[in-house]
Amino acid sequence: MKIAPDWLNDPAAQKVCAMLTSAGHQAWFVGGCVRNALIGAPASDLDLTTDARPQTVSDLGKAAGFKVVPTGIDHGTVTVVVDGAPFEVTTFRRDVDTDGRHATVAFADTPEEDARRRDFTMNALYAAPDGTLLDPLGGIPDALAGHIRFIGDAGQRIREDYLRILRFFRFFAWYGDPALGIDADGLAACADHVDGIDALSAERIGQEMRKLLSAPDPARAIASMAASGALLRVLPGAGPDALTVLIHIEEEARSEPDFIRRLAALGGDLARLRLTNAEMSRHAILRDMDPGTGEVAYRHGAAIAIDRAMVLAASLSQPISAADLAAARLGDGQVLPVKAADFMPRLQGPALGAALKQAEARWIASGFTLTRDELLR
Provide the residue-wise pLDDT of the chain in tens; the chain has 377 residues.
Answer: 999 999 999 999 999 999 999 999 999 999 999 999 999 999 988 999 999 999 999 999 999 999 999 988 878 999 999 999 999 999 999 887 666 566 677 899 999 999 999 999 999 999 999 999 999 999 999 999 999 999 999 999 999 999 999 999 999 999 999 999 999 999 999 999 999 999 999 999 999 999 999 999 999 999 999 999 999 999 999 999 999 999 999 999 999 999 999 999 999 999 999 999 999 999 999 999 889 999 999 999 999 999 999 999 999 999 999 999 999 999 999 999 999 999 999 999 999 999 999 999 999 999 999 999 999 98
Q: What is the DSSP letter of 273?
A: S
What is the distance between the alpha carbons of residues 336 and 334, in angstroms, rounded to a whole number?
7
- Can you spell out the DSSP letters for 295-323? HHHHHH-HHHHHHHHHHHHHHTTSPPPHH
Domain ranges for the chain, please list them. 1-145, 154-232, 235-334, 340-376
**Predicted local confidence at residue 101, as pLDDT:** 63
Beta bridge partners of 95: 105
Rg (C-alpha) for the chain, rounded Å, is 27
User: On the CB side of 315, how many CA atoms lie within 13 Å of its CA?
Assistant: 18
What is the distance between the alpha carbons of residues 377 and 362, in angstroms, rounded to a whole number?
12
The residue count of the chain comes to 377
**Predicted local confidence at residue 257, as pLDDT:** 96
SS3 333: coil
User: For residue 50, what are the CA distances in angstroms to 88, 115, 226, 332?
Assistant: 11, 12, 39, 56
Report the predicted TM-score, pTM, of the whole model to 2 decimal places: 0.91
Query: For 1-145, CATH number?
Result: 3.30.460.10
Any residues with CB less than 8 A from the CB of 245 and at least 6 apart, and which?
A: 265, 313, 314, 317, 318
User: For residue 332, what are the CA distances in angstroms to 293, 308, 325?
Assistant: 10, 14, 11
- pLDDT tens digits along 225-268: 999 999 999 999 999 999 999 999 999 999 999 999 999 999 99
Query: For 154-232, CATH number?
Result: 1.10.110
Please tell me whether the peptide bond between 129 and the residue prior to it is cis, using omega within 30 degrees of 0: no
Beta bridge partners of 72: 77
**Predicted local confidence at residue 263, as pLDDT:** 98
Q: Beta-carbon neighbour count of residue 39 at 10 Å?
A: 12
Q: What is the DSSP letter of 100?
A: B
**Predicted local confidence at residue 290, as pLDDT:** 87
**Predicted local confidence at residue 105, as pLDDT:** 78
User: For residue 156, what are the CA distances in angstroms to 98, 116, 188, 205, 347?
Assistant: 10, 12, 13, 20, 72
What is the distance between the alpha carbons of residues 150 and 156, in angstroms, rounded to a whole number?
9
Type of residue numbered 221: A
Q: Beta-carbon neighbour count of residue 347 at 10 Å?
A: 15
Alpha helix locations (H) across the chain? 11-21, 32-39, 54-63, 111-115, 139-145, 154-160, 163-175, 184-192, 202-213, 219-228, 230-234, 241-253, 259-266, 277-287, 293-300, 302-315, 322-331, 349-365, 372-376
**Predicted local confidence at residue 58, as pLDDT:** 97
Alpha helix locations (H) across 152-192? 154-160, 163-175, 184-192
**Predicted local confidence at residue 100, as pLDDT:** 58
Nearest-10 Cα torsion for 255, 256, 262, 263: -140
Residues 328, 278 contacting (CB under 8 angstroms): no
Nearest to 200 by CA among 99, 95, 71, 77: 99
